[in-house]
Structure 1
Amino acid sequence: MPLATYLPFVLMFLIFYFIIIRPQSTQRKKHEEQLANLKQGDKVLTRGGIYGTIIGFQGKNNNRVTIDAGSGTKFNVDRSYVVGLEDSKIEVK
């Protein structure tokens, strides 16, 4: 009967995997792909809640994004601080 004692744990792990781990993994991959495909002129939302337009890239591997937030306000952020495109459905948890 050792299989019967481990069966609830195995079932709990499978439920946990399919409800939490797998969807989170696919969402992370989608976000990484979106960050890799950023280009000049894209309208984005930063993690700080600022909307702006990408006007350029700097740094090694173009990891620094220059964003124009309007009225001549320009700032640099790390690429990882871009949450997503302004017109896409953005889900932050």
Structure 2
Amino acid sequence: MFISNAYANAAGTQAGGETMQLIFMLVVFGLIFYFMIFRPQSKRVKEHKSLMESISKGDEVLTNGGVLGKVTKISAENDYVLLAINESTEITIKKDYITAVLPKGSIQSL
């Protein structure tokens, strides 16, 4: 009665178009989130897990805290590692806190 038919029809078709644009934008943001955040993080987690599995007795490692040491023992549960920092000092750390395995002789060169 107060709104002409042509104006009412145009508003109805425009609302459908806005819904499609909204869905398209959500899909685009989801893809950006996946490729820029989720995928690289899962790749890093997979690399760290393979690093932890490859640690063996005699490896020289670097921890998150910056401690360099040589692996002298791996616990039976395989969660903890005994590191020799020097000839008389050994510490026990959780295997998850090892950041990198260093090449042999790295500690001696320092």
What is the distance in 1 between the residues matched to 2:75 and 2:37? 36
**Equivalent pair of 1:35/1:84 in contact (CA under 8 Å):** no
Of residues 50, 60, 64, the one that matches 1:43 is 60
How do residues 55-66 of structure 1 correspond to structure 2 at under 5 angstroms?
A: 55-59=72-76, 61-66=77-82
Q: Does 1:78 align with 2:94?
A: yes
Within-5 A mapping of 1:1-93: 1=17, 2-59=19-76, 61-87=77-103
Deviation at 1:86, TM superposition (A): 2.3
Q: Which has the higher helix share?
A: 2
- How far apart, in 1, do the equivalents of 2:27 and 2:95 lie? 39
Q: Cα RMSD over matched residues?
A: 1.3
Q: Using the aligned pairs only, state the percent identity.
A: 29
Q: How many residues align?
A: 86
Q: TM-score, normalised by structure 1?
A: 0.83
**How much has 1:82 moved relative to structure 2?**
1.1
Unaligned runs of 5+ in 1: 88-93
Structure showing the higher strand proportion among its residues: 1
In the alignment, the residues of structure 2 paired with residue 22 and residue 85 of structure 1 have an alpha-carbon distance, to the nearest angstrom, of 24
Q: Aligned-pair distance for 1:21?
A: 0.9
User: Secondary structure at the residue paired with 2:85?
Assistant: strand
Provide structure 2 residue ranges, at least 5 long, that are not aligned to the other structure. 1-16, 104-110
Q: Distance in 2 between matches of 1:82 and 1:51?
A: 10
Aligned to 1:91: none
